[in-house]
Amino acid sequence: MPTLPAVSSDDSRVEVESLTIDERQILQADIDATLAETASGGEQISANEIAWNGGEVVVTLPLPGQVAAPTASEDALLLDGVSAAEVSEVQAEAAGWNGCPAGANDNRWYCFYQFAGFEGRRVQWNHAHCSSGIKMADYGFDNRTTGIINTTKNIDFWGMNLTAYHDWFTGNALRVPPYTKISQLDSFHDNKISSFTACRR
């Protein structure tokens, strides 16, 4: 009998436990390919999630049979500093943000989605990256963004203003203010985002 990938077998979420052996192996192959193609330091933290920098960045893959990446796992949220008592609240709030985590005013995320309608893979952050921006290729999202969600709020200066660029922080900028959902980028920006900055307002 085939053995299950170690992380997958340790992932006790109901939707993961219901996967077949073949589905788990396909998912693990996708995770392995993503790790091979992205920045060093990535670590698989659940059956369908990879984290960098201690959970500062998390890429979530859809589970087999799903069209959209599910809400962040408890492991992903705990790694990024959410307390155990807050995990359920953050996950519940994410349901209204197409899986993008959203907690208290000072602990909210912004997410980039692979396909229209917030489908496909999701990559998420909840930290400012103002002076040193982010290169999307490091996380497998170079020219692969079709949707964006910014759950941060303009309260007590916690709001985050995103500026996404076609090139490395030059020209063709798309500005995404706090508390914004874009399910389908216009044709000028769709699948052309290569970098971004995220600055407190």
Place of tokens 């359920």: 88
pLDDT of residue 157: 67
Give the containing element (helix H, strand E) for 122.
strand 119-125
Residue 86 has pLDDT above 80, yes or no: yes
pLDDT of residue 99: 96
* Span 2-13, pLDDT tens digits: 444 566 668 989
Q: Is residue 106, in this structure, part of any structural domain at all? A: yes
Residue 96 has pLDDT above 70, yes or no: yes
> Which domain, by its residues, includes 195?
6-200
SS3 7: helix
* Span 150-187, pLDDT tens digits: 999 887 667 899 999 998 777 789 999 999 999 999 99
Which CATH number characterizes residue 112's domain?
Answer: 2.60.20.10
SS3 31: helix
pLDDT of residue 31: 98
Q: Is residue 73, in this structure, part of any structural domain at all? A: yes
pLDDT of residue 201: 73
Q: Is residue 1, in this structure, part of any structural domain at all? A: no
Q: Is residue 112, in this structure, part of any structural domain at all? A: yes
Q: Which of 169, 149, 152 is nearest to 160 (CA)?
A: 152
Contact indicator for 59, 50 with CB cutoff of 8 Å: yes
Q: How does residue 145 score in pLDDT terms, banded at 50, 70 and 90?
A: very high
Q: Is residue 183, in this structure, part of any structural domain at all? A: yes
> How many domains does the chain divide into?
1
Q: Is residue 98, in this structure, part of any structural domain at all? A: yes
Give the Cα separation of 17 and 27 in Å (integer): 13
SS3 24: helix
Q: Which residues contact 136 (CB under 8 A, 6 or more apart)?
A: 112, 123, 142, 143, 144, 145, 193, 194, 195, 196
Give the Cα separation of 151 and 172 in Å (integer): 23
Q: What is the pTM of this model?
A: 0.93
* Span 25-57, pLDDT tens digits: 999 999 999 999 999 999 999 999 999 999 999
